[in-house]
Homo-oligomer: A and B are copies of this chain.
Amino acid sequence: MPKRVDHHARRTLIADALMRVAADRGLEAVSLRHVAAEAGVSTGMVQHYFRTKDEMMTFAMETVGERTEARLTAAVEALGESPAPKALVRTLLTGLLPLDEPRRAEGRVALAFLAYSAARPRVAAALREDAAGMREVLAGRIRAAQDAGDAPEELDPDHAATALLALVDGLGVHVLGEHYAPETALAVLDAHLDTVFGPSPH
């Protein structure tokens, strides 16, 4: 009888080890052997998840993507049924900011992936799709706010959504570089959300 293997647990073990060594060294300096040593497993097991640098970078970005999605889903569910567009958008966008250490570590991995994939457009394809999906969600909520009379009609929802995601990614990069405190990034995001959706209590 073949051994039963918990693939989810194994994947989580490798992904956790990769995130830890990436946080210490920077993802660009990490090798398969580093990850195997950190996870306490054979390099052969790590190779099951990635063999090349491209595959490692993609695996790391998938890990960050899955964790971000799980966090955003939980945060949106906590808003209850039919949240107001502004509350939903704010929850999604603050969920993308590196406001605590686990998210800082994920942000550093995302930044390393962005830098790596900027010279390798093929590697960046999944990220492009994720970003397009997020822009669509944001544009949909802006349209809903416009329909409800809660956002200016003259706003182009697609441009406004593109601006929101670019703003949050830029704020995230600056917070990771310690240009200013996470609180400043939040205040700047809130001021911008007010220009899109009008001022409102959070």
Q: Does A117 contact B (CB under 8 A)?
A: yes
Q: Which residues of B contact A163 (CB under 8 A)?
A: 167, 188, 191-192
| A166-B162 contact in complex given A111-B115, A115-B111, C-beta closer than 8 Å | no
Consensus secondary structure, chain A interface: helix
The distance from the CB of A67 to the nearest CB of chain B, in whole angstroms, is 18
B191, A25: Cβ atoms closer than 8 Å? no
B159, A188: Cβ atoms closer than 8 Å? yes
A174, B179: Cβ atoms closer than 8 Å? no
- Within 8 Å by CB of A25, from B27, B119, B179, lies B119
Count the A residues whose beta carbon is within 8 Å of the partner chain — how many?
49
Per-position contact with B for A147-176: 1 when CB-CB < 8 Å, else 0?
Answer: 000000000100110110111111101101
Q: Which residues of B contact A28 (CB under 8 A)?
A: 28, 112, 115-116
Per-position contact with B for A105-137: 1 when CB-CB < 8 Å, else 0?
Answer: 001100110111111110010011001100000
B178, A166: Cβ atoms closer than 8 Å? no
Q: Which residues of B contact A121 (CB under 8 A)?
A: 177-178
Q: Does A187 contact B (CB under 8 A)?
A: yes
| A170-B166 contact in complex given A111-B118, A116-B26, A119-B108, C-beta closer than 8 Å | yes
Q: How far is the CA of A95 from the CA of B137 in the complex (A)?
A: 30
Q: Does A184 contact B (CB under 8 A)?
A: yes
Which chain B residue has the least Cβ–Cβ distance from A187?
B159
Q: Does A200 contact B (CB under 8 A)?
A: no
Q: Which residues of B contact A26 (CB under 8 A)?
A: 115-116, 118-120
Q: How far is the CA of A192 from the CA of B108 in the complex (A)?
A: 27
- Pull 24 A–B residue pairs with CB atoms less than 8 Å apart, ordered by A: A26-B116, A26-B118, A26-B119, A108-B119, A111-B118, A114-B115, A114-B173, A114-B177, A117-B177, A118-B176, A121-B177, A128-B179, A131-B174, A131-B179, A159-B188, A160-B191, A162-B180, A162-B188, A166-B166, A166-B167, A166-B171, A167-B170, A169-B170, A170-B171
